[in-house]
A and B are shown apart, each in its own frame.
Chain A
């Protein structure tokens, strides 16, 4: 028996979301069990079952969230740009400027 992690897509075009896991002897039964446990009410448009052993995980905050300033990657950091436009044009910037 192997543990399979189950991912479910709830509507076409949506991302696959992790919903839980099942214990099964092979891929085919893993899909059957996943359907029975995670889509009894037809919640899924697509199911993925992935052997847990295939998942590579990291939770190290030093790696994932190093203490760097990411401001330049974020739209909010460019509020100053709106001010510049206002200075040049002498007008109140429109809402979506």
Chain B
């Protein structure tokens, strides 16, 4: 069998539902795409801990402080699980971190923005995590079995993140006019990043990650799923979604909305978002400051930083 035949056979198998394990043979292109995809996911979990981290000391009650801390610990835990997958695919953790802090690899758009108020903490935990759950649930059907299994565990943990966020939002919406305004303003700040979250509506047939079964649901479909589930939930508690074009088209069975500026998404994820450099700077600093821990743990072996 030639290499091309072997690759074609592999592709046919994953498209028919075959699951790949870490030690199995896989085409180089599959390995490279998987590595890139999971690495970005892992980076996003790690960087995603930072916007909320700013609010541990400012949480309004002890209960909220505990919940925010637990959620952040979960996100870092998700990064741990995913970095292990990337390492098993052949990329050493040192390299992963170097690439992240030097800006060579990316993380999700929503983590490039600052958090301005407690309202942002509620909206992020409720809606950003909701958007993430939609993609992560679909990834439970990934052709790469270790990734699919990790998604099952992550989704199970995410359930509390959503509830915690929704509870913050509902509590404010039952409060004073000022509290309601806090939430409305936060929603207005986060709506555009949320609409960009699942990425541009690339035609499924040109999406290589779909072709290899790394992911199983097209970007636009994930966004539609998110809108179907959350638009009503957002509106019925008295919040106004800042998009005059947003409406459900009965005829097509799809949501119409103002097309986000996709070039802006690209600008943001390449490190030019309002908080990108501050977040990377913080990550760089903590990487340097914890170098001694890694040194102690590994007895100085195989460490350069």
Contacts and interface: CB of A to CB of B under 8 A. Distances in A.
B302 interface: yes
A59 B298 CA distance: 33
Interface in B111-169: 146, 149-150, 153, 157
Given A20-B150, A20-B153, A37 B81 contact: yes
A19 interface: yes
Most A-side CB within 10 Å, residue of B80, B149, B298: B80
A62 interface: no
B153 A19 contact: yes
B277 interface: no
A20 B93 contact: no
Given A19-B153, A20-B150, A29-B297, A36 B23 contact: no
Nearest to B77: A37
A25 B84 contact: no
Contacts of A22: 80, 84
B84 A23 contact: yes
A6 B61 CA distance: 36
Interface string B270-305: 000000000000000000000000000111011000
Contact of A20 (B24, B73, B84, B157): B84
A40 B302 CA distance: 29
Contacts of A14: none
B297 A57 contact: no
A1 interface: yes
Contacts of A37: 77, 80-81
Contacts of B297: 25, 29
A63 B21 CA distance: 19
Interface string B239-257: 0000000000000000000
A29 to B, nearest CB: 7
Contacts of A40: 73-74, 77
B interface SS class = helix
B209 interface: no
A36 B77 contact: yes
Interface string A7-32: 00000000000011111010001000
A23 B93 CA distance: 10
A36 B80 CA distance: 10
A19 B150 CA distance: 9
A25 B77 contact: no
Nearest to B297: A25
B87 interface: yes
A25 B298 contact: yes
Nearest to B296: A25
A19 B153 CA distance: 9
Interface in A59-96: 59
B84 A21 contact: yes
B298 A20 contact: no
24 contacts: A1-B298, A1-B301, A1-B302, A3-B84, A3-B87, A3-B88, A20-B81, A20-B84, A20-B146, A20-B149, A20-B150, A20-B153, A21-B88, A23-B84, A25-B297, A25-B298, A29-B297, A36-B77, A37-B77, A37-B80, A40-B73, A41-B157, A57-B23, A59-B24
Given A20-B146, A25-B299, A59-B24, 10 more contacts: A1-B301, A3-B88, A22-B80, A23-B87, A23-B93, A25-B298, A36-B77, A40-B73, A41-B157, A57-B23
CB-based closest 10 A-B pairs = A25-B298, A37-B80, A25-B297, A37-B77, A21-B84, A1-B298, A20-B81, A23-B84, A40-B77, A37-B81
Interface of A: 1, 3, 19-23, 25, 29, 36-37, 40-41, 57, 59
